[in-house]
């Protein structure tokens, strides 16, 4: 479960078994989780994050999207 960024209380990561899916990132904070697609930043799933937090999380993802896509390709080859 490689962590790609810790930003304040948020941990951004992906699972090594995710290689068969399109590029995406998971984020967690306490008991809250979400999943975002990276090709076009889009929320795929949310559990307990408020709309305000999701907006902040999405901004963080947008800022890191390109290096994460490159890292995803390097790690998973797709």
Task: Find the domain containing 53 and state its range.
Answer: 3-76
Q: Are strands 10-13 and 32-37 parallel, antiparallel or unpaired?
A: unpaired
pTM for the full predicted model: 0.95
Q: What is the mean pLDDT of residues 16-39?
A: 96
Asked if 33 contacts 10 with a C-beta cutoff of 8 angstroms, the reply is no
From the centroid of its chain, how far is CA 9? 14
Is residue 66 very low, low, confident or very high in pLDDT (cuts 50, 70, 90)? very high
> Domain count of the chain?
1
Please work out, in degrees rounded to the nearest 5, the angle formed at the alpha carbon of residue 44 by the alpha carbons of 41 and 48.
115
């Amino acid at each position: 479960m490689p962590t790609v960024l810790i930003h304040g209380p948020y941990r951004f990561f992906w699972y090594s078994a995710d290689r068969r899916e399109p590029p995406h990132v998971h984020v967690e904070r306490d008991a809250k989780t979400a999943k975002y697609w990276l090709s076009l930043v889009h929320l795929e799933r949310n559990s307990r994050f408020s709309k305000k937090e999701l907006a902040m999380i999405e901004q963080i993802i947008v800022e890191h999207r390109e290096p994460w896509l490159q890292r995803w390709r390097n790690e998973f080859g797709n």
